[in-house]
Amino acid sequence: MNDVTLATLADFPAALERHYAAFPRARVHWAPASWDGVPSEPFTAIEQICHVRDIEIEGYQVRFERTLREAAPFLPSVDSERLARERDYARADAGRVLAQFRDARARTLELLRGVAPADFARPADFEGYGSVTLLGLVHFLCSHDQQHLAGLQWLLGKLTMERA
């Protein structure tokens, strides 16, 4: 595991909070007329942070643990749109969501820091990605984080266009 990836994962909760804070409070539920070009899932700002929290806990933490415990497990993708509907992301308390995410990311980092170097080569079959190692999953988590920062910036750009 390289230091830059761990540092990027560790820095992400603060970056997510800063990006979310850039939205006027009255606009955290705002959605553009078209989602064409969105670099993340088509979620509003509040829905983005809920999604990131749930993917951390129910996606990547589960994937990491199963990859460490099982022989080449099949790791299903998470139906993000279903979770958003079922959990009514639009009504979530942002402060609570961000705190839950910070705690979850701390647990993820604790888990990863405790992995023996050889175990990063453990294989899994990740739905939609194919054969992957634990280390590959870590990089996909880091990439997922960046997609959602980009999604929030994209939303801010669209919001600015609406106000112009």
How does pLDDT run across 36-87, given as a tens digit for each residue? Answer: 999 999 999 999 999 999 999 999 999 999 999 999 999 999 999 999 999 9
Question: The tokens of 102 are what?
Answer: 């910070």
Q: Are 102 and 20 in contact (CB under 8 A)?
A: no
Q: How many domains does the structure of the chain reveal?
A: 1
Which of 142, 145, 135, 164 shows the shortest CA–CA distance to 39?
145
Q: What is the CATH number of the domain that holds 104?
A: 1.20.120.450
Indicate the pTM of the whole model: 0.95
| Cα-Cα-Cα-Cα dihedral sign, residues 126, 122, 143, 18 | positive
Question: The tokens of 82 are what?
Answer: 């279903």
| pLDDT tens profile 118-164 | 999 999 999 999 999 999 999 999 999 999 999 999 999 999 997 66
Question: The tokens of 150 are what?
Answer: 């980009």
Which of 41, 48, 129, 153 shows the shortest CA–CA distance to 94?
48
Question: The tokens of 27 are what?
Answer: 């606009």
Domain that holds residue 41: 3-163
